[in-house]
């Protein structure tokens, strides 16, 4: 195959607020993600198709019309499968790294060595009980035991099946995974084995490499995503619905402003407590500000937004998604950007220098050249939070003469999770099941993951697809930067029910909820699975039987690859855009889009157009409804 010249075209932010900030940054002479993307065109077609191998010094090799194999003999199928497994392993360990961090904090709480308490004791007891930890023990003992249990699971060997999976998965799923021999052991060990398989000339079986992706997907779900959300909710409180401000217009020019950016919210919670204290409000006032506020961006913001009821008056909004980060600093009113892991563009330090922001990295794996580090540790959280707040007060006095805050204010509702959905429904998932059975809700679509500037998407695909789905009476659940984009696009307020099909609108209006529900961060995808499993258990069916589907309409990085394999392993049909780098292999493309459905019940399809994507998603949902003997209402659009 020849190198394809691919996907140029004008790339601009899709929403008015971000466009305003984009223009501002350009006027100030800043190069942004849009210019960098344009300069990269045309991008390498071999990489796009996954048929480039850089593993050894006889390479780099590409598959071309004249060369069907690399120097070592690897063909297109092997190169593509190996490249994919490498990404999947990286994504899995990235989620698991986050899970291990929160488990270490939970354990430290149990040892009395952390600046945190248990926020949700009932959840701690319930989850400890699931794994046979004595629920009658004190909270501290439970925290220690449960934290230790997660750490043990994360570090266990790949030849010992994970207790997490065996305890939490539906029995029918376990059967499927056992038959395929993909029941995973410890995720880090599984990832290490995957890396060994990806060495030059070690494992030359693309199908085995793809099955390993599924193993990692399962480990990612239970040791990664489940670990993150369950432990975080024990430590920070369980999500509950609330309405708050979103997008770059949230900033208050009169206050000292701290931005918490990344994916791990534990330190941000401490910063919120410090910022809300009389001591720091007074300090901020002395510096000439009217107070001190904390904002969140990316998935960190989503997680704070989920529990924002506790931080009224100090948490002042969810600012934006991955693409928006440079434009957020271009306001000139972010005094400190405290960032952890991950999704911090390497150009952020340039923007910080231009617009006065003090950047502080707070996780040990993060580095930005020339940027100060204050590394989180459970017993240093308070000290670091105070230092961060002090720096913010200092930098308030260094703001540029001209600042630029977009005048548009946008609101959204966040805070959904299995518990809050069940409570909105009056105590069980039955009303949701009844609504699905009657056809008031045709099905449920998880629209999750990142944003990308590729193919002019920039949030456009997320917005257009979500609008299409709700018109068809399909309830949308958002997570990650998809949630942020839906929030910015006015799709996550109860009033947006009017944009939905009549039947879904009726359900939303009666419950006072939006047709697109935010479950939070991309790491909260595990909570969506939790809700789906609750429905499946109630109906005593396996996941593939349910009228449930998923989409990552602007998928971007490696954690999304791991999450994609979680979905496929769980038996969910998953839409992806842009196409993953697999099209250079007929075999891999066929396995992912067809064959795997016969194994797990899940599969992948790619479509770049939101309307035809929605058509296909609706078709899948209708087929599942039909198989369950449920009514199909094909003409349900408004
Ligand atoms: Fe957003 Fe977290 Fe980053 Fe993706 S990684 S771009 S923050 S969704 Ni999952």
Which residue owns the Cα nearest ligand 1 atom 9? 522
pLDDT per position as a tens digit, 120-146: 999 999 999 999 998 789 999 999 999
pTM above 0.75, yes or no: yes
SS3 state of residue 547:
coil
Q: Helices in 111-241 by DSSP H: which ranges?
A: 121-130, 139-155, 163-168, 171-180, 187-197, 206-219, 226-236
| Ligand 1 pocket check for 507: Cβ under 6 Å | no
pLDDT per position as a tens digit, 287-308: 999 999 999 999 999 999 999 9
pLDDT of residue 10: 55
Distance between CA 574 and CA 616 in Å, rounded? 11
User: Which atom of ligand 1 lies at the shortest distance from residue 560's CA?
Assistant: 9
pLDDT per position as a tens digit, 214-247: 999 999 999 999 999 999 999 999 999 999 999 9
| Ligand 1 pocket check for 322: Cβ under 6 Å | yes
pLDDT of residue 560: 97
616 contact partners, CB below 8 Å, separation of at least 6: 575, 605, 607
Whether residue 114 is predicted with pLDDT greater than 90 in this model: the reply is: yes
Which residue owns the Cα nearest ligand 1 atom 6? 450
Residue identified by tokens 């330090």 is 349
| Ligand 1 pocket check for 298: Cβ under 6 Å | yes
Residue identified by tokens 């979680």 is 566
Whether residue 583 is predicted with pLDDT greater than 50 in this model: the reply is: yes
Which residue owns the Cα nearest ligand 1 atom 7? 298
**Mean pLDDT confidence for 65-72:** 98
Nearest to 574 by CA among 530, 543, 605: 605
Whether residue 473 is predicted with pLDDT greater than 70 in this model: the reply is: yes
- Asked whether 297 and 328 are in contact (CB, 8 A), the reply is yes
Whether residue 4 is predicted with pLDDT greater than 80 in this model: the reply is: no
pLDDT of residue 216: 98
pLDDT per position as a tens digit, 389-425: 999 999 999 999 999 999 998 999 999 999 999 888 8
pLDDT of residue 1: 30
Cα of 525 vs centre of ligand 1, distance in Å, is 11
Cα of 448 vs centre of ligand 1, distance in Å, is 9
Confidence of residue 631 (pLDDT cuts 50, 70, 90): confident
Distance between CA 180 and CA 89 in Å, rounded? 19
pLDDT of residue 106: 98
Whether residue 6 is predicted with pLDDT greater than 70 in this model: the reply is: no
**Mean pLDDT confidence for 532-545:** 95
| Ligand 1 pocket check for 442: Cβ under 6 Å | no
Whether residue 338 is predicted with pLDDT greater than 50 in this model: the reply is: yes
| Ligand 1 pocket check for 449: Cβ under 6 Å | yes
| Ligand 1 pocket check for 559: Cβ under 6 Å | yes
Cα of 23 vs centre of ligand 1, distance in Å, is 24
User: Which atom of ligand 1 lies at the shortest distance from residue 322's CA?
Assistant: 6
pLDDT of residue 11: 62
| Ligand 1 pocket check for 556: Cβ under 6 Å | yes
| Ligand 1 pocket check for 343: Cβ under 6 Å | yes
Which domains, ranges and CATH numbers included, belong to the chain? Answer: 87-236 (1.20.1270.30), 246-396 (3.40.50.2030), 416-627 (3.40.50.2030)
pLDDT per position as a tens digit, 186-212: 999 999 999 999 999 999 999 999 999
Cα of 502 vs centre of ligand 1, distance in Å, is 32
pLDDT of residue 457: 86
């Amino acid at each position: 195959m020849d190198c394809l010249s691919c996907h140029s075209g004008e790339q601009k932010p899709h929403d008015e607020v971000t466009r305003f900030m984009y223009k501002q940054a350009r006027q100030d002479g800043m190069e942004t993600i849009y210019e960098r993307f344009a300069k990269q065109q045309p991008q390498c077609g071999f990489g796009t198709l996954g048929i480039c191998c850089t593993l050894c010094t006889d390479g780099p090799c590409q598959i071309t019309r004249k060369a069907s194999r690399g120097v070592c003999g690897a063909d297109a199928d092997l190169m593509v499968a190996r490249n994919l497994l490498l990404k999947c392993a990286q994504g899995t360990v990235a989620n698991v790294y986050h899970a291990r961090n929160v488990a270490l904090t939970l354990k430290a709480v149990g040892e009395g060595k952390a600046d945190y308490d248990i926020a949700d004791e009932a959840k701690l007891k319930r989850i400890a009980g699931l794994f046979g930890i004595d629920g009658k023990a004190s909270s501290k003992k439970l925290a220690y035991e449960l934290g230790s249990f997660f750490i043990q699971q994360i570090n266990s060997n790949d030849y010992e099946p994970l207790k997490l999976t065996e305890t939490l998965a539906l029995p029918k799923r376990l059967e499927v995974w056992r038959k395929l021999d993909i029941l995973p052991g410890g995720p880090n060990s599984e990832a290490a084995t995957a890396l060994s398989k990806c060495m030059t000339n070690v494992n030359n079986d693309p199908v085995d490499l793809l099955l390993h992706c599924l193993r990692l997907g399962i480990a990612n779900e239970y040791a990664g995503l489940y670990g993150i959300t369950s432990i975080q909710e024990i430590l920070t409180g369980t999500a509950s619905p609330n309405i708050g401000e979103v997008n770059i217009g949230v900033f208050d020019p009169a206050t000292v402003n701290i931005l918490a950016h990344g994916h791990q919210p534990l330190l941000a919670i401490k910063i919120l407590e410090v910022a809300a204290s009389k001591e720091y409000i007074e300090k901020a006032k002395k510096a000439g500000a009217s107070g001190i506020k904390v904002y969140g961006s990316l998935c960190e913001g989503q997680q704070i937004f989920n529990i924002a009821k506790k931080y009224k008056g100090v948490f002042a909004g969810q600012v934006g998604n991955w693409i928006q980060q440079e434009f957020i600093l271009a306001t000139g009113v972010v005094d400190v950007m405290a960032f952890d892991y991950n999704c911090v563009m390497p150009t952020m330090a340039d923007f910080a220098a231009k617009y006065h922001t003090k950047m502080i990295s707070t996780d040990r794996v993060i580095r930005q050249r020339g940027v100060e580090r204050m590394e989180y540790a459970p017993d240093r959280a308070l000290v670091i939070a105070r230092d961060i707040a002090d720096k913010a007060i200092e930098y308030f006095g260094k703001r540029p003469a001209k600042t630029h805050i977009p005048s548009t204010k946008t609101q959204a509702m966040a805070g959904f999770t299995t518990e809050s959905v069940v409570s909105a429904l009056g105590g069980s998932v039955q009303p949701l099941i009844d609504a699905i059975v009657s056809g008031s809700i045709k099905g449920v679509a998880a629209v999750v993951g990142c944003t990308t500037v590729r193919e002019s998407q920039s949030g456009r695909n997320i917005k257009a697809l979500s609008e299409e789905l709700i018109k068809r009476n399909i309830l949308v659940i958002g997570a990650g930067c998809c949630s942020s984009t839906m929030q910015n696009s006015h799709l996550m307020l109860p009033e947006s029910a009017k944009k939905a099909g009549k039947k879904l609108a009726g359900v939303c209006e009666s419950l006072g909820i939006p047709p697109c529900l935010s479950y939070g961060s991309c790491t909260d995808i595990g909570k969506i699975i939790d809700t789906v499993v609750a429905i499946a258990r109630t109906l005593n069916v396996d996941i593939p039987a349910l009228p449930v589907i998923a989409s990552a309409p602007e998928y971007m990085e490696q954690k999304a690859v791991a999450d994609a394999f979680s979905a496929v392993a769980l038996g969910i049909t998953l839409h992806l855009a842009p196409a993953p780098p697999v099209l250079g292999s007929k075999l891999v493309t066929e396995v992912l889009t067809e064959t795997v459905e016969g194994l797990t019940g899940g599969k992948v399809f790619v479509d770049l157009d939101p309307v035809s994507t929605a058509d296909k998603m609706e078709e899948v949902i209708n087929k599942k409804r039909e198989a369950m003997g449920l009514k199909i209402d094909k003409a349900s659009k408004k």
